[in-house]
Amino acid sequence: MSDFVLVHGAWHGAWCWQRLLEPLWAGGHRVFTVSLTGVGERAHQLSPDIRLATHIQDVQAVIEAEELQDVILVGHSYAGMVITGVADRLADKLAALIYLDAVIPLSGEAWSSRHAPETQAQRRTAIAQHGFIPAAPPSVLGLTGADAAWVERRQTPHPGGVYDDPLHFDAERWAGISRYFIDCTAPALPTIAIARERAREQPGWQVYEIATGHDAMVSAPDELLAILMTIAFKT
């Protein structure tokens, strides 16, 4: 049995993991899903004061309050920033880090650091005007039909204060944790391109691929579940 902590990406909430919960429970695992401050069912807390450190603390608090050990920590998309920060603080409590089509930062980088200049400009303009980043259309995430409708009606704006916050962490401590990257390849989201390269170039990574869009927990839950179960068996 493993303890999974699942952390969603931008504009999402704990709701996005619904299709994985019962199968993971049936496999004998415990699962803790985190909604980050300001999104999901916590959208009423949206504020310019929310920073990357706020979201790191959200996840850290769950691990500490539940007294978890040997955690398999999964971060989707933006949450690659978050789980890297958690790993720096709680390395002794983690058995593995899983980056689900997620950002892989270097120490000192922000979520924005490796985005194209056009993406940076668009998001910074939105943040300056509204204080948040509006949700991307589900089609950008590779979703269509009922899946797209399901995600679109649940997405919420993402706190703008996290976008340019740099993350400083001990790269050696982080590299001492087993690390996995799940690459969602069809269609491949452009903002994750640098992470795909790093997972294949940096030592210590194990890479899996799923031929689906960015929201694999929605569009390919069975394939994603199989990978999570495989990693849990190895851990």
Residues assigned a catalytic role: 77
CA–CA dist 214, 30 (Å, integer)? 25
Q: Which tokens go with 65?
A: 């309050």
Residue 88's DSSP bridge partners are none
CA atoms within 13 A on the CB side of 28: 5
d(CA 79, CA 56): 9
Query: Do 33 and 6 meet the contact criterion of CB atoms below 8 Å apart?
Result: yes
Report the alpha-carbon distance of residue 213 to residue 143 in Å, rounded.
7
**How far is the CA of 103 from the CAs of 43, 74, 178, 183, 225, in angstroms?**
23, 12, 16, 11, 20
Q: Is the peptide bond before 157 cis (omega within 30 degrees of 0)?
A: no
